[in-house]
Amino acid sequence: MVEVAVLVSGSGSNLQALIDAAKAPDYPANIALVISNRPGVKALERAAQADIPHLVIDHKAFDSREAFEAVLHDTLRAHEIDLICLAGFMRVLTGGFVAKWPKRILNIHPSLLPAFKGLHVQQQALDAGVEKSGCTVHYVTEGLDDGPVLGQRQVPVLEGDNVETLSARILREEHILYPQVLREIAKALKSRS
Ligand code: GRF
């Protein structure tokens, strides 16, 4: 079994999709740990509800990104985590941290990368007037939203869309895509070990 930590900062609807998918008996990954950098978020409630170990590492308690990430790294190691899934995790990870987890960090992003990196990507898509958008799961590398793409799903951008309607349409696809990609990656990792 591939032991997975999910890193969150907010609502955790993608976390929920991963938790639900991992209940399938043949699913090759176990959601073993949930870490939030923000206290009191809904994602932590979801973890509690599913009886998954969960904790807060509040970045505001640290003087530097490196100090925050040192604790994050030690916590992941202590829980014998194989793979990290970022799911609405709103901290940028440094190159130093990423180098310690090569091809072991996945992220989900609500655009068809390489289009629209960074924040407010649905607004970026609307401003650009594109006819389709979607979501991407990719490996995390040092560059922001830049790592190799592992999977994508598309949605149309409809006349009269706003950030809310487009975000909701994309989010529905995220909940399908992330569990699918995690299944593939975990299966590949398992067959190597
Ligand atoms: C998702 O749109 C994800 O792609 C982005 O942040 C949002 C998180 O939503 N990185 P949730 O916390 O999984 O509900």
Instruction: Give the ligand 1 atom nearest the CA of 15.
Output: 13
As a whole number of angstroms, the distance between CA 133 and CA 130 comes to 7
On average, the pLDDT of the chain sits at 97
pTM across the whole model: 0.97
Residue bearing the CA closest to ligand 1, atom 1: 88
Let me know: does 43 contact 24? Beta carbons within 8 Å. no
Compute the distance from residue 189 Cα to the ligand 1 centre, in Å.
25
CA of 110 to the centre of ligand 1 (A): 7
Model pLDDT, residue 21: 98
Q: How confident is the model at residue 9 (pLDDT cuts 50, 70, 90)?
A: very high
**Catalytic positions:** 109
Question: For residue 17, what pLDDT band results from cuts at 50, 70 and 90?
Answer: very high
Which of 8, 14, 36 to mutate to test ligand 1, by most ligand atoms within 8 A of the CB atom? 14
CA distances, 126 to each of 112, 132, 164, 166, 171 (Å): 13, 10, 11, 9, 16
108 by DSSP, 3-state: which?
strand
Mean pLDDT of the region 121-130: 97
Q: Is 69 in the pocket of ligand 1 (CB under 6 A)?
A: no
Report which secondary-structure segment, H or E, holds 166: helix 163-192
The domain that holds 48 is classified in CATH as: 3.40.50.170
Q: Distance (Å, rounded) from C-alpha 67 to C-alpha 63?
A: 7
Would you call 26 exposed, middle or buried from its count of C-beta atoms within 10 A (0-12, 13-18, 19+)?
A: exposed
Q: What would the pLDDT profile of 18-56 be if each residue is shown by its tens digit?
A: 999 999 999 999 999 999 999 999 999 999 999 999 999
Could you give the C-alpha distances from 45 to 53, 60, 90, in angstroms and in order? 11, 21, 18
**pLDDT of amino acid 1:** 95
Domain limits for position 110: 2-192
Q: φ and ψ at 48, to 5 degrees?
A: -60, -45
Mean per-residue pLDDT for 148-153?
98
Q: What is the percentage of the chain residues whose pLDDT exceeds 70?
A: 100
Q: Are 123 and 163 in contact (CB under 8 A)?
A: yes
Question: Considering its fold, how many domains does the chain have in total?
Answer: 1
Structure confidence by residue, pLDDT tens digits, 57-96: 999 999 999 999 999 999 999 999 999 999 999 999 999 9
- Identify which of 7, 171, 176 to mutate to test ligand 1's pocket (most ligand atoms within 8 A of the CB): 171
Q: How many C-beta neighbours within 10 Å does residue 89 have?
A: 25
Q: State the average pLDDT over residues 131-138.
A: 98
| Atom in ligand 1 nearest the alpha carbon of residue 87 | 13
Instruction: Kindly state if the Cβ of 175 falls inside 6 Å of ligand 1.
Output: no
pLDDT of residue 159: 95
